[in-house]
Homo-oligomer: A and B are copies of this chain.
Amino acid sequence: MKNIDGGVTAPKGYRASGVRVGLKPGSEKEDCALVLSDEAATVSGMFTTSVMKAPPVHWDVKICEGGHARGVFINSVNANAATGEQGHKDVQATAERLAVALNVSDSEMCICSTGVIGVPMPMDLIFEGIDSCANSLSEGGSLAAATAIMTTDTIPKEFAVELPLTSGTVRLGAIAKGSGMISPNMATMICIVTTDAAIAPDLSQTLLRSAVRSSFNRISVDNDMSTSDTVLLFANGQSGISLEEGSADAAAFGETLTAFCQDAAKALVKDGEGATKFVEIAVSGTATDENAERIARAIGNSQLCKTAFFGQDPNWGRFACAAGYAGVDFDPAALDIRLGDVQLTQDGLVAEYAEEDAAAVMLKDEFRMELSVGNGPGKAVFWTSDLSHGYVSINADYRS
């Protein structure tokens, strides 16, 4: 795959926009975004597993079950979560307004909201945002859309790649926002992926599930899942290339989709709240991939490991300790830990290394840790940030 410009509108037949209607008083940033396919597209989605799913999530789940949509409208600042019956009515009203503004059916538009929990949606402003977004759609609108969906993200995130297949070239585009929280409540991880390949809904869902499992489900900023986490994949077929289940092209597309989602997921971690480090944790030697993932996740979520990352402390006792409580049976005497190219432990015992070499690895903004716990075939990679004073400050500040 080759990186290209254009973000979510890089694939053929998509337009996007981002506008500011003032959902957050005092903010100069765009707050409403629209991504639209010119023609009908298939859609698949992956969502938060929280029982506190926000009304827009319920709406999108239903649309993805149907498998067809034209696009998605997203607002930041207000998550429309824990808003009860009124929240569902507001989603319906949003869909109806989109139908009128875009001349589509009200069951053809997905809706995402990210921001404060428990506050009724200011529907007059949302309607204004829909109309304004509809009027400013363009093939160059990806950056404005990526900016509009930001909450505590410090940079807009857009991605696009070109992928040559045996039957021709297709493109993938995306905008994403991070798993940070905004004052006063939690926000959401959202990623909208577009492609101009033609993919049937079932195949699309299968490919997306697999990609998300190895990307967005392998990252942690603070281990707090939101009420609104959403990944949507639109496929409008405008490239003229169709992916058939079981074909080599479908497999190649799936691999690229996974790598593409991993790039987006890593970008979310790097821009995580207060993050000063980006750490890749690779675990191997377990009986299964699931067990490797469990160990990697335990380390990636450990407050102790994350403060060690922040402190640039090659404190392998903490890494071994988190591996130990991951709920995976392994022989401690088989534990090898490497930090960058420095071997910290061998066969469960401290290895011979210079402390300053290990510390030097952690001085970098990004580094990799490898743990091997045996001879099994299982392996997994996980990406995490550190736990810094910045994180505490961002999330402990009183609502203002």
Contact = CB atoms under 8 A, between A and B. Distances in A.
A311 B395 contact: yes
Given A82-B332, A392-B310, A51 B324 contact: yes
Given A303-B222, A348-B84, A116 B311 contact: no
Contacts of A328: 51
Given A322-B224, A395-B308, A184 B332 contact: no
B317 A225 contact: no
Main secondary structure, interface of A, reads: loop
Contacts of A51: 324-325, 328-330, 332
B395 A323 contact: no
A138 interface: no
Contact of A118 (B83, B323, B333, B350): B350
B321 A396 contact: no
Interface stretch (A93-101, A162-170, A383-391): A383-391
A250 to B, nearest CB: 33
Contact of A392 (B348, B359, B387): B387
A136 to B, nearest CB: 31
A285 to B, nearest CB: 13
B48 A325 contact: yes
Interface in A23-75: 48-53
Given A185-B315, A348-B84, A321 B395 contact: no
Contacts of A184: 313, 315, 317
A81 interface: yes
A349 interface: yes
**Assembly stoichiometry (copies):** 2
A124 interface: no
B323 A83 contact: no
Nearest to A83: B349
Interface size class of chain A, counting residues whose CB lies under 8 Å from the partner chain: 35 or more
Contact of A399 (B225, B226, B313): B313
Q: Which one of A186, A222, A303, A397 has the greatest number of beta carbons of chain B within 10 Å?
A: A303
A395 B307 contact: yes
Given A304-B222, A321-B52, A349 B118 contact: yes
B395 A304 contact: yes
A10 interface: no
A227 B321 CA distance: 6
Nearest to A388: B392
Interface string A343-364: 0010111100000000100000
B303 A303 contact: yes
Contact of A333 (B50, B84, B322): B84
Given A82-B345, A186-B321, A388-B396, 6 more contacts: A82-B320, A117-B318, A222-B304, A312-B398, A313-B396, A387-B392
18 contacts: A50-B324, A82-B348, A84-B333, A84-B347, A116-B317, A117-B316, A117-B320, A118-B349, A225-B321, A225-B324, A227-B321, A227-B324, A303-B395, A311-B395, A313-B397, A388-B392, A391-B392, A392-B392
Closest CB pairs A-B (n = 5)? A52-B324, A117-B317, A311-B396, A185-B317, A307-B395
